[in-house]
A and B are shown apart, each in its own frame.
Chain A
Amino acid sequence: NAGVTQTPKFRILKIGQSMTLQCAQDMNHNYMYWYRQDPGMGLKLIYYSVGAGITDKGEVPNGYNVSRSTTEDFPLRLELAAPSQTSVYFCASSYSTGYTDNSPLHFGNGTRLTVT
């Protein structure tokens, strides 16, 4: 019962470096999401995907890219890291739109990223 697995758990980047945050789910969910969580700001949607090969922008997509080549994996790419991208990043998945008790969002445990 792995659910949603995120790696790494922690990462420190220097300004301008790039990295990929990995996310994998083993529940055969169609929908996957990337959120960032900043103190006192709730969760903001970065990108989402409704199935393999389909991705779309959320509320705060600038500075990020995603791909969805398989149902299981949904990596998030930071190309030129900036201090404003210091945050905790959460990946989530759901069977359908996820907005019912029968199809909740399942979150990973997050990646804490610091850009200095």
Chain B
Amino acid sequence: TQLLEQSPQFLSIQEGENLTVYCNSSSVFSSLQWYRQEPGEGPVLLVTVVTGGEVKKLKRLTFQFGDARKDSSLHITAAQPGDTGLYLCAGNTGTASKLTFGTGTRLQVTL
């Protein structure tokens, strides 16, 4: 079973601060996804990264896939209260049964 460890587990910051969330594994993934989940709702896909070293930007969010495709990071610039939620990474080894979710990072952004 592949394990995806996310760090930190919890993060509480003030509006305007920058932050980085990490997703690490000893396994190689063919692609990696990031989801955001708000209370009482299901996760919603933010981005998929496929190529080692790939960087994708989604407004103030920057996602990077490690060169060896074993890790990923999510950087948020100038965080806003609307960024509050649970961030989940999920690594894919190529089949329907093999999407492994990380342990999650709970982010709270206060005014």
B-facing residues in A86-108 (Cβ within 8 Å): 90, 92, 97-101, 104-105, 107-108
B43 within 8 A of A: yes
- Are B42 and A107 in contact, with the CB atoms below 8 A? yes
B76 within 8 A of A: no
- Are B96 and A98 in contact, with the CB atoms below 8 A? yes
Residues of A within 8 A of B (CB-CB), count = 29
Hey, which bits of chain B sit against chain A, CB under 8 A? Answer: 1, 4, 9, 30-31, 33, 35, 40-45, 47-48, 50, 88, 90, 92, 94-97, 99, 101-104
- The SS class assigned to the B binding surface is loop
Ranked 10 nearest A-B pairs via Cβ: A107-B42, A104-B45, A42-B101, A43-B101, A99-B92, A101-B48, A42-B103, A109-B41, A90-B42, A107-B43
Instruction: Jot down 29 A-B pairs with beta carbons below 8 A, ordered by A.
Output: A31-B96, A35-B101, A41-B103, A42-B102, A43-B43, A43-B90, A45-B97, A45-B99, A48-B96, A56-B96, A56-B97, A57-B97, A59-B1, A59-B97, A90-B42, A97-B92, A97-B96, A99-B48, A99-B92, A99-B94, A100-B31, A100-B50, A101-B45, A107-B41, A107-B43, A108-B42, A109-B42, A110-B40, A110-B42
Return chain B residues, CB-CB under 8 Å to A58.
97
Bound Cα distance A97, B97 (Å): 9
- Are A40 and B103 in contact, with the CB atoms below 8 A? yes
